[in-house]
Amino acid sequence: MIRLILDSNFANSAVLYVAIPFLVSFAIFQFTPKPKRHGLWKRYLAHMRDATIIMLATSVILFEGFICVLMFMPIYYLIVSVGFGAEALMKRGDDGQRSKLKASILPLVIAIFAVEGLTPSTSFERQNQVTRTVIVNASIDDLKANMAADIEFSDRRHWFLSIFPLPVDVAAGTLKAGDVHRLDFIYKRWFFTNIDRGEFHLRIDEVSENQIRTSVTRNTSYLAKYLSIQGTEVQFTPISDERTEVALTIHYQRLLDPAWYFGPMQKFAVSRSADYLLDQVIIREVSHD
């Protein structure tokens, strides 16, 4: 079912990330042996164990990588936890008829959440932007010189960003309108093999005294499956001769549903990425507040 959805027009919809976890959890709950003489808590832990093994194993069959599995697992655990929590509540003194009523409501709720992204009318706003601001002890010319220098990305990143591979090669080192910076990515889906190669092209659209604006002209990297980076803006506001406020804005489009799950996750990732780019490309060794 997952493979069919991934090959369809609904690969990024909530059907994949809400309905499928519910169906998988239901199948495990119904058809795997339940621990004898154990309460609901141990059944819950056993279910989580079985589901984790299944997800890690089937990533090979689905030709998907470890990043996709890591994105899928938290929402699966959440839905399963809701299901077991509902079962625990149903067992607290309810009669059989009321329990059946509550049990029938949960699939209906899941179905409602699963339709997100199937049509424009069932989708939420996808365009987003993140702005990070920092004050540095440097002039605008110094910061522009940093941006024009060769780029070497450090492995020192936020733990969440460390899940995603860094570019293996960066063709940059200029700061002229019309120039295109190219980043080459290699993503080993199964840690050591099943290699996915892609490119990320960033064109410099505008270079003015206090602003630098870019746009993405090509993105075939693994990141393109999760969100669409559309461009950046760097705004310089002089505070004094040797002190500048730098504001980096990243424009992006969320591709995955549901919004309540991937919206905050992607905003967090893009915010941390903006901090990383400020540190590695614009500020570099300059002290800042």
* pLDDT tens sequence across 111-165: 888 999 998 899 999 999 999 999 999 999 999 999 998 888 888 899 999 888 8
**104 and 143 belong to one structural domain:** no
**199 and 274 belong to one structural domain:** yes
Between helices 259-277 and 66-90, what is the axis angle to 10°? 140
- Write down which residue in 89, 104, 119 finishes a domain: 119
Residue type for position 73: M
pLDDT digits (tens, 9 = 90+) for 71-85: 888 888 888 887 777
Give a yes or no: residue 138 inside a domain: yes
Give a yes or no: residue 107 inside a domain: yes
Q: Are 178 and 204 in contact (CB under 8 A)?
A: yes
**166 and 248 belong to one structural domain:** yes
Task: Show the domain range for 252.
Answer: 124-283
**138 and 267 belong to one structural domain:** yes
Write down the pLDDT at residue 201: 96
Specify the length of the chain in residues: 289
Write down the pLDDT at residue 6: 80
Sign of the alpha-carbon torsion through 114, 119, 120, 126: positive
Sign of the alpha-carbon torsion through 53, 57, 59, 65: positive
**6 and 29 belong to one structural domain:** yes
Paired tokens of 128? 């987003």
Q: Are 167 and 198 in contact (CB under 8 A)?
A: no
- Write down which residue in 104, 119, 134 finishes a domain: 119
Write down the pLDDT at residue 230: 97
**96 and 138 belong to one structural domain:** no
- Write down which residue in 84, 119, 154 finishes a domain: 119
Paired tokens of 30? 């119904």
Domain total in the chain: 2
Q: Residues with Cβ < 8 Å from 36, sequence gap 6 or more?
A: none
Give the 3-state secondary structure of residue 11. Answer: coil
**138 and 250 belong to one structural domain:** yes
Write down the pLDDT at residue 44: 85
Q: Are 258 and 113 in contact (CB under 8 A)?
A: yes
The more confidently predicted of residues 26 and 120 is 120
**248 and 129 belong to one structural domain:** yes
Give a yes or no: residue 288 inside a domain: no
**178 and 223 belong to one structural domain:** yes
Share of the chain above pLDDT 90, in %: 45
**197 and 260 belong to one structural domain:** yes
**181 and 245 belong to one structural domain:** yes
**156 and 254 belong to one structural domain:** yes
Give a yes or no: residue 223 inside a domain: yes
The percent of the chain in helix, strand and coil, each rounded to the nearest 5, is 45, 25, 30
Q: Which of 102-111, 156-165, 190-199, 232-241 has the lowest mean pLDDT?
A: 102-111
